[in-house]
């Protein structure tokens, strides 16, 4: 197993994950497939990254400065990410469908002097730039008319050299900012050193997934989400495999098209898309036999949804839990030993502890807050000293997630520690109620949160998206939960929505859910 001491002190991530494939004689292998037809070899991706590196240096980016990337998924995103790393800059990427106020937040927070943008993000980014005291240059891709302070990225790349000497960086240099999802507050950046992705790639990408050069990885989430970017263009590149990316929003129809055309071996999933694909009218016609596995993360994978996926497509799903703070996945199912309803076991290399509210270890079957320890953990949250002290302790991370572990070392998710509800003096995990509700055939999606009643007491409230054409009532669902869980755990109120609000990474946005205006039946 790769250890920190095995990683060379002189380490540049673009060289480690990209240039080394050329040195191994694999420069002619396909590294990246974009959309339906475009494909690029490792040599071509490396040359594109070098050109971006030159453009960034000419734009004044210095080593250790942040570069903000708001690009559609494609060669441009991947080349920009690696090009910034090659010159020793720090990469931070954001979603391309945000509002101006969101981009203004990221520009102010990162203090990036240069940002790269195209497509849908261009106009809202322009609106945000006007208020930024830090940004000097906006590099615009896609052939748009330019304004003051903007440069044509495509034109600059056309005249940039294909070769670039890598900056002299080390395994302990700051290299990557990974943003938290912001589902309960403003996103924060978990600051990662260069050795973190190397460790994560070895421990999870190769140690659990067994990625090799014959693998082709297709992600449902977009590349701004580190879970997808790492699996597709980092862990895959580490072994000479192929990443498949596309600029459009992910839909079941598009995923089916891409699977049929490119025949990937690994599908990077989220439960919400799994549900949509299973329910799609064309699902029975799909051939997913090219997939040796799916991976799922970002939100809990209900056991019933997993069983329906397996019945529909016959493809094993390795559910997993990771975080921006620990870089990537640290609890995961294993090929051939998946237990529905469990997120699997500890990824070899990491150590996991479950602690009660007093900080004492809990026994098997008892819920406890997860602490994870390993060499890939971040060093801090940028600009938040107090939260850093609450979350990080050396190489240990307080995840804020509740799990129960069985005697075989399998972990079951029990929700967020700060989502725990105290009902009649007893702690209740919303995830347990949600899993129960999702077993009802009339429930397509749901979330449970605590809502104060008229007396100021917190009660479990279920927000439910009914299955198509289902006739289900709140009382029926309450009785369903009562019959399966302890009496105090049933939702005191059931409210129906057309859909649940979600963050860009696909997680339920509980902050918005608590304030959303209800419509439909209650």
Confidence at 182, pLDDT banded by 50, 70, 90: low
How much of the chain, in percent, has pLDDT values that exceed 90? 80
- For the stretch 108-163, pLDDT in tens is 999 999 999 999 999 999 999 988 899 999 999 999 999 999 999 999 999 999 99
- For the stretch 65-84, pLDDT in tens is 999 999 999 999 999 999 99
Res 458: pLDDT: 72
Res 418: pLDDT: 73
Confidence at 425, pLDDT banded by 50, 70, 90: low
Residue 352: strand, helix, or coil: strand
User: For residue 474, what are the CA distances in angstroms to 69, 75, 184, 450?
Assistant: 45, 48, 27, 17
CATH topology for 420-513 is GMP Synthetase; Chain A, domain 3 (3.30.300)
Confidence at 457, pLDDT banded by 50, 70, 90: low
Res 133: pLDDT: 92
238-257: average pLDDT: 97
216-221: average pLDDT: 97
What are the residue ranges spanned by the domains of the chain?
42-196, 420-513
Backbone φ and ψ for 191, nearest 5 degrees, come out as: -90, 120
- For the stretch 9-20, pLDDT in tens is 999 999 999 999
Distance CA 164, CA 143 (A): 25
**Closest to 67 measured CA to CA, from 106, 102, 96, 119:** 106
For the cut 60, the answer to whether the pLDDT of residue 455 exceeds it is no
330-350: average pLDDT: 96
How much of the chain, in percent, has pLDDT values that exceed 70? 96
Distance CA 199, CA 329 (A): 11
> Token pair for residue 15?
């060289």
> Token pair for residue 231?
């699996």
- For the stretch 369-416, pLDDT in tens is 999 999 999 999 999 999 999 999 999 999 999 999 999 999 998 877
Distance from the Cα of residue 205 to its chain's centroid: 15
Res 468: pLDDT: 80
Res 521: pLDDT: 38
H or E stretch at 450: strand 443-452
Res 185: pLDDT: 62
**Closest to 378 measured CA to CA, from 195, 112, 162, 156:** 195
195 CB contacts (<8 Å, ≥6 apart)?
Answer: 4, 7, 11, 171, 172, 375, 376
Distance CA 418, CA 428 (A): 11
CATH topology for 42-196 is Rossmann fold (3.40.50)
**Are residues 15 and 169 in contact, defined by beta-carbon separation less than 8 angstroms?**
no
For the cut 50, the answer to whether the pLDDT of residue 239 exceeds it is yes
Least confident segment among 262-271, 408-417, 427-436: 427-436
**Closest to 274 measured CA to CA, from 235, 316, 242:** 316
First to last CA, the chain: 54
108 CB contacts (<8 Å, ≥6 apart)?
Answer: 132, 133, 134
For the cut 50, the answer to whether the pLDDT of residue 314 exceeds it is yes
**Are residues 27 and 46 in contact, defined by beta-carbon separation less than 8 angstroms?**
yes
């Amino acid at each position: 197993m790769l250890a920190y001491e095995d990683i060379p002190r002189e380490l540049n991530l673009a060289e480690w994950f990209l240039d080394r494939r050329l040195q191994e004689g694999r420069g002619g292998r396909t590294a990246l497939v974009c959309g339906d037809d475009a494909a690029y070899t490792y040599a071509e991706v490396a040359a594109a990254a070098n050109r971006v590196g030159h453009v960034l240096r000419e734009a004044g980016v210095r080593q250790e400065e942040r570069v903000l990337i708001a690009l559609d998924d494609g060669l441009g995103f991947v080349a920009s990410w690696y090009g910034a790393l090659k010159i020793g800059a720090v990469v931070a990427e954001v979603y391309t469908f945000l509002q101006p106020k969101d981009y203004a937040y990221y520009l102010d927070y990162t203090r990036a002097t240069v940002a790269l943008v195209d497509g849908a993000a261009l106009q809202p980014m322009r609106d945000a730039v006007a208020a930024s005291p830090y940004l000097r240059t906006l590099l615009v891709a896609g052939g748009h008319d330019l304004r003051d302070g903007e440069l044509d990225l495509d034109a600059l790349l056309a005249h940039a050299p294909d070769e670039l000497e890598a900056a002299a960086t080390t395994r302990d240099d700051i290299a990557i900012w990974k943003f938290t999802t912001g589902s309960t507050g403003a996103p924060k950046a978990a600051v990662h050193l260069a050795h973190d992705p190397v460790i994560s790639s070895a421990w999870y990408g190769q140690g659990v997934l067994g990625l090799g050069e014959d693998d082709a990885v297709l992600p449902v989430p977009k590349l701004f989400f580190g879970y997808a970017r790492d699996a597709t263009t980092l862990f895959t590149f580490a072994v000479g495999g192929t990443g498949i990316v596309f600029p459009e929003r992910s839909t079941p129809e598009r995923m089916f098209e891409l699977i049929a055309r490119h025949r990937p071996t690994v599908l990077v999933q989220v439960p919400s898309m799994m549900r949509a694909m299973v329910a799609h009218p064309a699902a029975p016609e799909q051939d997913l036999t090219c997939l040796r596995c799916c991976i799922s993360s970002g939100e809990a994978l209900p056991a019933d949804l997993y069983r329906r996926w397996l019945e529909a497509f016959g493809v094993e799903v390795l559910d997993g839990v990771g975080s921006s703070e620990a870089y990537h996945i640290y609890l995961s199912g294993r090929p051939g030993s998946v237990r529905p309803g469990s997120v699997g076991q500890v990824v070899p290399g990491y150590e996991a502890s479950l602690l009660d509210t007093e900080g004492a270890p809990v026994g098997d079957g008892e819920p406890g807050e997860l602490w994870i320890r390993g060499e890939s953990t971040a060093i801090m949250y940028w600009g938040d000293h107090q939260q850093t002290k609450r979350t990080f302790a050396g190489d240990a991370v307080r995840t804020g997630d509740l799990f129960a572990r069985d005697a075989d070392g399998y972990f079951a998710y029990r929700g967020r520690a700060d989502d725990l509800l105290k009902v009649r003096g007893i702690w209740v995990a919303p995830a347990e109620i949600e899993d129960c509700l999702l077993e009802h055939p009339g429930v397509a999606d749901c979330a449970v949160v605590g809502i104060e009643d008229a007396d100021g007491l917190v009660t479990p409230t279920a927000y439910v998206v009914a299955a198509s054409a289902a006739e289900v009532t709140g009382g029926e669902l309450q009785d369903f939960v009562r019959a399966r869980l302890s009496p105090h755990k049933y939702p005191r109120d059931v409210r129906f929505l057309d859909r649940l609000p979600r963050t860009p990474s696909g997680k339920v946005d509980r902050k918005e859910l608590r304030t959303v205006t209800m419509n439909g039946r209650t």
